[in-house]
């Protein structure tokens, strides 16, 4: 690779990331340039964060104006932009109230706390939450305990108690596992498991799960950190199944690169937190709220929900057509611009090989190439993406078969 091994020159940074030796200097649209001037097509988008791509002119102008006006005050005071963003998010989701934080981890922690307090308020002293195999909800002690990945949990025991794990898309299993447990108060899941390999919850299963929650008085908590904010072609992933959750968590794409997290709650859960039960120093600050307001406005005005659906389908169709019959290709799946290409072999090396070819992507669940490009990507750019990626995968799989 043309970029020098940067980590060797950064001994003061904790070695928590297995970084590629690349540093970026600037971006425009779906493109990034590194410090050596090399150009990359960004199909990673900061891991589904940069909704509007890089240096979107309207977004940049709005943030510049806001920085010159007000960045942070405190939640001791009213924040007008919080009210604006909360009103828009609740209108889009069908929920009623919003809490703002800065990250998806914080949002998921807040959901867990809501569920626990919901249980305590009903007299359940050790409330439990149903979670799923292969789920990913974060890396704090509570969220990694809810996560279904032993690698994430390794070395951090004892785990937080209170989670009951079940397989996805198996309504009989969840009924059987929880039938004699009166301490279950909620179920928490991703409609598409992002870190787990782009595995989708089936619409019929979600409708049956909603009915089960209603029957047993459970809260339905949906982690929309990766699927929310138009990523799947609807504002929220749960909307594909026609269900209404009680609480959802948001982050990643909500601020188009500015850290923003949110929890949206409906009538069953919106009143659980009282003053002093929860908070966030940076959550809901004016800059982050402006980023959220502008992100939603630009998505709507630019037709990016329809674009996510159309371009995502185009990419999946082309990849499927070009790789069909290739030894080692399993399938391509996903919704909108959340796409997973599963191979029969561990393929972590593809991340570096793709970067050498000028394409940014990630590999998740060991064998799944993940594509989460900015929602502004055009069909021509999508064709460039496929034109780089498919030959890479073909060469990679041919070498594995040799």
**Domain co-membership, 332 together with 241:** no
pLDDT digits (tens, 9 = 90+) for 105-164: 999 999 999 999 999 999 999 999 999 999 999 999 999 999 999 999 999 999 999 999
**Boundary-marking domain end, from 267, 302, 337:** 302
Q: How is residue 168 written in tokens?
A: 């996805």
**Rounded mean pLDDT, 225-251:** 98
The active-site residue out of 34, 42, 223, 246 is 223
Distance between CA atoms of residues 209 and 207, nearest Å: 5
Q: How is residue 263 written in tokens?
A: 């929890």
**Domain co-membership, 161 together with 256:** yes
**Domain co-membership, 85 together with 216:** yes
Across 11-15, 51-55, 114-118, 397-401, least confident range = 11-15
Q: What is the CATH number of the domain that holds 324?
A: 3.90.1150.10
**Domain co-membership, 191 together with 273:** yes
Q: What is the CATH number of the domain that holds 199?
A: 3.40.640.10
Place 5 in a pLDDT band, splitting at 50, 70 and 90.
Answer: very low
Q: Does position 4 have pLDDT exceeding 60, yes or no?
A: no
- 226 annotated to a ligand binding site: yes
Please check whether residue 9 lies inside any domain of the structure: no
Which range of residues forms the domain containing residue 376? Answer: 24-55+303-401
- 280 annotated to a ligand binding site: yes
Distance between CA atoms of residues 301 and 62, nearest Å: 15
The active-site residue out of 99, 118, 136, 163 is 136
Distance between CA atoms of residues 224 and 77, nearest Å: 28
pLDDT at 2 (0 to 100): 44
- 297 annotated to a ligand binding site: no
Cα distances (angstroms) measured from residue 393 to each of 94, 336, 365: 41, 21, 17
**Domain co-membership, 362 together with 384:** yes
- 223 annotated to a ligand binding site: yes
- 176 annotated to a ligand binding site: no
pLDDT at 11 (0 to 100): 81
Place 304 in a pLDDT band, splitting at 50, 70 and 90.
Answer: very high
Q: Is the pTM of this model over 0.85?
A: yes
pLDDT digits (tens, 9 = 90+) for 305-330: 999 999 999 999 999 999 999 999 99
**Domain co-membership, 152 together with 269:** yes
**Boundary-marking domain end, from 237, 268, 302:** 302
**Domain co-membership, 68 together with 190:** yes
**Domain co-membership, 331 together with 295:** no
**Domain co-membership, 341 together with 377:** yes
Residue predicted with more confidence, 6 or 170: 170
Please check whether residue 8 lies inside any domain of the structure: no
Distance between CA atoms of residues 167 and 174, nearest Å: 8
Please check whether residue 13 lies inside any domain of the structure: no
Please check whether residue 17 lies inside any domain of the structure: no
Place 402 in a pLDDT band, splitting at 50, 70 and 90.
Answer: confident
Q: Does position 256 have pLDDT exceeding 90, yes or no?
A: yes
Share of the chain above pLDDT 90, in %: 95
**Boundary-marking domain end, from 281, 302, 323:** 302
Distance between CA atoms of residues 137 and 14, nearest Å: 22
- Active site annotation includes 274: no
pLDDT at 184 (0 to 100): 98
**Domain co-membership, 37 together with 175:** no
- Active site annotation includes 234: no
Across 11-20, 73-82, 388-397, least confident range = 11-20
Please check whether residue 92 lies inside any domain of the structure: yes
**Domain co-membership, 246 together with 140:** yes
How many residues are there in the chain? 402
Task: Count how many domains the chain has.
Answer: 2
pLDDT at 9 (0 to 100): 52
**Domain co-membership, 289 together with 309:** no
Please check whether residue 198 lies inside any domain of the structure: yes
Q: Are the C-beta atoms of 226 and 192 separated by less than 8 Å?
A: yes
The active-site residue out of 118, 163, 252, 282 is 252
- Active site annotation includes 136: yes
- 178 annotated to a ligand binding site: no
Please check whether residue 278 lies inside any domain of the structure: yes
Distance between CA atoms of residues 176 and 164, nearest Å: 12
**Rounded mean pLDDT, 363-381:** 98
pLDDT at 8 (0 to 100): 52
- 100 annotated to a ligand binding site: no
Please check whether residue 383 lies inside any domain of the structure: yes
């Amino acid at each position: 690779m043309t970029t020098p091994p940067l980590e060797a020159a950064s001994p003061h940074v904790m070695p928590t990331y297995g970084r590629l030796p690349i540093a970026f200097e600037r971006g425009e649209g779906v493109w990034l340039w590194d410090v050596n001037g090399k150009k990359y097509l960004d199909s990673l988008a900061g891991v589904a964060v940069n909704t509007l791509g890089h240096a979107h002119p309207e977004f940049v102008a709005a943030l510049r104006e806001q920085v010159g006006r007000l960045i942070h005050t405190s939640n001791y005071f009213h924040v007008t932009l919080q009210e604006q963003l909360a009103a828009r998010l609740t209108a889009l989701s069908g929920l009623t109230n919003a809490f703002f934080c800065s990250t998806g981890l914080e949002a998921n922690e807040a959901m867990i706390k809501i569920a626990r307090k919901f249980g305590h308020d009903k007299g359940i002293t050790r409330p439990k939450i149903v979670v799923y195999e292969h789920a990913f909800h974060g890396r704090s002690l509570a969220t990694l305990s809810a996560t279904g990945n032993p690698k994430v949990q390794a070395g951090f025991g004892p785990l937080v108690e209170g989670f009951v794990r079940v397989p996805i898309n198996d309504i009989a299993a969840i009924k059987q596992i929880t039938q004699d447990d009166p301490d279950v108060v909620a179920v928490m899941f991703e409609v598409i498991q992002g870190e787990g390999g782009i595995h989708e919850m089936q619409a019929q299963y979600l409708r049956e799960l909603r009915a089960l929650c209603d029957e047993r008085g459970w809260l339905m908590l949906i982690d929309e950190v990766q699927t929310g904010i138009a990523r799947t072609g609807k504002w929220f992933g749960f909307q594909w199944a026609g269900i209404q959750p009680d609480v959802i968590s948001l982050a990643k794409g909500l601020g188009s690169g500015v850290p923003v997290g949110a929890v949206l709650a409906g009538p069953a859960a919106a009143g659980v937190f009282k003053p002093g039960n929860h908070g966030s120093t940076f959550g809901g600050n004016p800059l982050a709220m402006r980023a959220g307001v502008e992100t939603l406005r630009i998505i709507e005005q630019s037709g990016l929900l329809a674009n996510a659906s159309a371009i995502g389908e185009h990419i999946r169709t082309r990849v499927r057509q070009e790789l069909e019959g290739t030894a080692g290709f399993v399938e391509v799946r996903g919704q909108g611009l959340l796409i997973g290409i599963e191979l029969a072999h561990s393929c972590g090396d593809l991340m570096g090989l793709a970067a050498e070819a000028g394409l940014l992507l990630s590999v998740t669940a060991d064998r799944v190439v993940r594509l989460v490009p900015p929602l502004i990507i055009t069909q021509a750019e999508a064709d460039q993406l496929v034109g780089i990626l498919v030959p890479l995968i073909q060469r990679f799989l041919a070498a594995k078969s040799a």
